C-alpha cells in the first residue's frame, strides 16, 4: 500500500440503490473475494419487490449479511441530519443505513474522529473556473478592530523603554539570521551540482509534488465504507467524517448536488420545483451545481458568461382574456393560481370502475387543466391555434 492509498475495506454497507445497480456486482464480488464483509439492513432487502430485481439479488455469488440498528446510533445520525438540513428528505430506511455505517465505524475504530455536529459551512463561489475575490469580514458592531489604525501624517506616538529594548533585540536577531542566510546562499551558489534544479527528468515529480502531498493528507484510515447513490446520504456521511465509496468502487471525496440560482438577484434555492425566484419573483432561475466537500466547503459552480435565453420574447404578449377558461400567461410569482377543479365530484361507482387492481388509478390523478407558467419559448404567442373540430 502506497503513501497515498486508502486502507483496504473490511466492511461495506449497502443501500437499495447500490444493490440494484448493475455496475456494483463486479466491485462487490471483488470485495467479497478479498474477505470483505457486506452488510445491509432488513428494510433495504424488503424494498426490493420487483420480481426481476429480487431474482437478480438472490442469484448474487456472494452473501450479504443483515444487522439491526441500535437506537443510540439512529438518534445520532438523525440529529446530525437535522443540523445539515437533509433529515426531511431522508427516509426511515436511509437513516437506518446511515446508523448502521455509524455503528460499525464506532465498533471498529471508535467514535472520537466522528463529528457530532457539522462544520460551519463556508461558501466558496467559483465563477467560470475562477474563484471570487476575497472579501474581508465586516467588524461586528461594538467590538474593536483587530488591526490598529495607522497614525495620521505628522503624528508620532510615544514609545516606552520596554518597547525600544524589544525592538532592538528583534532587529539584532533579524540581522544575524540575514547574515547566516547570505553565507548559506553563497555556499549554495558555489555548488554546481544542481540537485534541486527543474530538469526534463524531474519535471513530472515537481509538478505533481503538491498534489500528492494534498492526497496524502486526505488519505482515509477507516476500513468501513458505505456504498450509496443518494445525494442526501452522501452529504451527511461526508460531513460526519465517514468513508464513502461509489458504485464502481472509487472513493468519493465530495458530493455534488444541483440548485437554482437567480441571475437577477443572485439568490440561491435548493427547491428544484420552483419556476420563479422566491426573492424577486421573476422567471430568472438557472440550474447550477453545488459541491459539498468533506471539509465543510460549499462550492457553487456557474458560468458568468452564460447569457439568458431570450428565444421567443421578441413577440408581444397577447392581451389578457377574462373568464374562467382563459389561458393568460403567468409571468411572475404572485400571479400563480391553483388549477381549476371540476364542479362535480366523481361518484363512488366511477371511482371503483376506473380503479386499478393494484390500487393506483393512472388516469384519475391526471390534471386536465394545467396552468401555463412562463413565456412560451420558441413560438409566437399571437399565432393562430389550429383547431381540429369544426366551429
pLDDT single digits (tens) 136-147: 444 444 444 443
Please report, rounded to a whole number, the percentage of residues in the chain having pLDDT higher than 90: 7
3-class secondary structure for the chain? CCCCCCCCCCEEEECHHHHHCCCHHHHHHHHHHCCCEEEECHHHHHHCCCHHHHHHHHCCCCCCEECCCCHHHHHHHHHHHHHHCCHHHCCHHHHHHHHHHHHHHHHHHCCCCCCCCCCCCEECCEECCEECCCCCCCCCCCCCCCCCCCCCCCCCCCCCHHHHHHHHHHHHHHHHHHHHHHHHHHHHHHCCCCCCCCCCCCHHHHHCHHHHHHHHHCCCCCCEEEECCCHHHHHHHHHHCCEEECCCCCECCEEEEEEEEECCCCCEECCCCCCCCCCCCCCCEEEEEEEEECCCEEEEEECCCCCCCCCCCCCCCCCCCCCCCCCCCECCHHHCCCCCCCCCCCCHHHHHHHCCCCCCCCCCCCCCCCCCECCCCCCCCCCCCCCCCCC
182-236 residue pLDDT tens: 544 444 444 444 445 666 566 666 555 544 444 444 566 788 889 888 888 888 8
CATH of 11-117+221-252, one of 2.60.120.1310, 3.30.420.40, 3.40.50.1010, 3.30.300.30: 3.40.50.1010
What integer pLDDT is reported at residue 192 of this predicted model? 45
What integer pLDDT is reported at residue 137 of this predicted model? 45
Known binding residue 259? Answer is: no
Known binding residue 226? Answer is: no
193-203 residue pLDDT tens: 444 566 656 66
Average pLDDT value for residue range 260-271 = 86
pLDDT band at 241 (very low <50, low <70, confident <90, very high): confident
What integer pLDDT is reported at residue 75 of this predicted model? 93
Known binding residue 36? Answer is: no
What integer pLDDT is reported at residue 95 of this predicted model? 93
Taking 50 as the threshold, does the pLDDT of residue 367 lie above it?
no
What integer pLDDT is reported at residue 54 of this predicted model? 82
277 vs 299, more confident: 277
Question: What is the pTM assigned to this prediction?
Answer: 0.50
Amino acid at each position: 500500500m502506497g503513501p497515498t492509498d486508502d486502507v483496504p475495506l473490511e466492511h461495506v454497507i449497502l443501500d437499495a440503490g447500490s444493490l440494484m445497480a448493475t455496475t456494483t456486482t463486479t466491485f462487490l464480488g471483488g470485495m467479497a473475494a478479498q474477505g470483505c464483509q457486506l452488510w445491509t439492513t432488513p428494510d433495504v432487502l424488503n424494498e426490493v419487490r420487483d420480481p426481476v430485481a429480487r431474482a437478480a439479488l438472490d442469484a448474487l455469488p456472494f452473501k450479504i449479511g443483515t444487522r439491526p440498528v441500535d437506537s443510540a446510533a439512529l438518534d445520532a445520525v438523525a440529529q446530525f441530519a437535522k443540523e445539515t438540513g437533509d433529515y426531511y428528505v431522508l427516509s426511515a430506511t436511509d437513516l437506518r443505513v446511515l446508523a448502521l455505517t455509524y455503528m460499525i465505524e464506532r465498533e471498529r475504530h471508535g467514535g472520537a474522529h466522528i463529528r457530532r455536529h457539522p462544520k460551519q459551512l463556508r461558501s466558496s463561489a467559483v465563477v467560470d473556473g475562477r474563484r471570487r475575490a476575497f472579501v474581508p469580514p465586516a467588524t461586528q458592531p461594538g467590538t474593536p478592530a483587530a488591526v490598529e489604525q495607522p497614525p495620521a501624517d505628522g503624528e508620532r506616538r510615544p514609545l516606552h523603554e520596554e518597547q525600544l529594548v524589544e525592538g532592538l533585540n528583534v532587529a539584532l536577531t533579524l540581522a544575524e539570521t540575514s547574515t547566516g542566510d547570505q553565507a548559506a546562499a553563497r555556499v549554495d551558489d558555489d555548488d554546481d551540482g544542481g540537485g534541486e534544479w527543474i530538469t526534463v527528468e524531474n519535471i513530472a515529480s515537481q509538478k505533481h509534488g503538491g498534489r500528492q502531498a494534498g492526497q496524502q493528507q486526505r488519505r482515509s484510515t477507516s476500513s468501513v465504507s458505505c456504498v450509496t447513490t443518494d445525494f442526501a446520504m452522501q452529504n451527511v456521511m461526508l460531513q460526519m467524517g465517514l468513508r464513502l465509496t461509489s458504485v464502481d468502487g472509487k472513493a468519493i471525496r465530495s458530493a455534488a448536488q444541483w440548485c437554482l440560482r437567480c441571475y437577477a438577484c443572485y439568490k440561491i434555492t435548493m427547491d428544484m420545483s420552483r419556476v420563479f425566484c422566491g426573492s424577486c419573483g421573476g422567471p430568472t432561475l438557472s440550474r447550477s451545481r453545488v459541491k459539498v466537500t468533506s471539509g465543510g466547503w460549499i462550492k457553487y459552480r456557474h458560468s458568468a458568461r452564460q447569457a439568458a435565453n431570450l428565444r421567443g420574447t421578441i413577440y408581444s404578449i397577447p392581451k389578457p382574456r377574462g373568464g374562467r377558461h382563459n389561458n393568460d400567461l403567468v409571468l411572475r410569482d404572485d400571479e400563480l393560481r391553483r388549477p381549476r377543479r371540476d364542479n362535480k365530484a366523481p361518484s363512488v361507482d366511477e371511482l371503483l370502475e376506473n380503479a386499478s387492481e393494484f390500487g393506483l388509478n393512472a388516469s384519475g390523478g391526471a390534471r386536465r387543466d394545467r396552468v401555463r407558467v412562463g413565456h412560451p419559448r420558441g413560438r409566437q404567442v399571437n399565432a393562430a391555434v389550429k383547431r381540429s373540430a369544426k366551429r
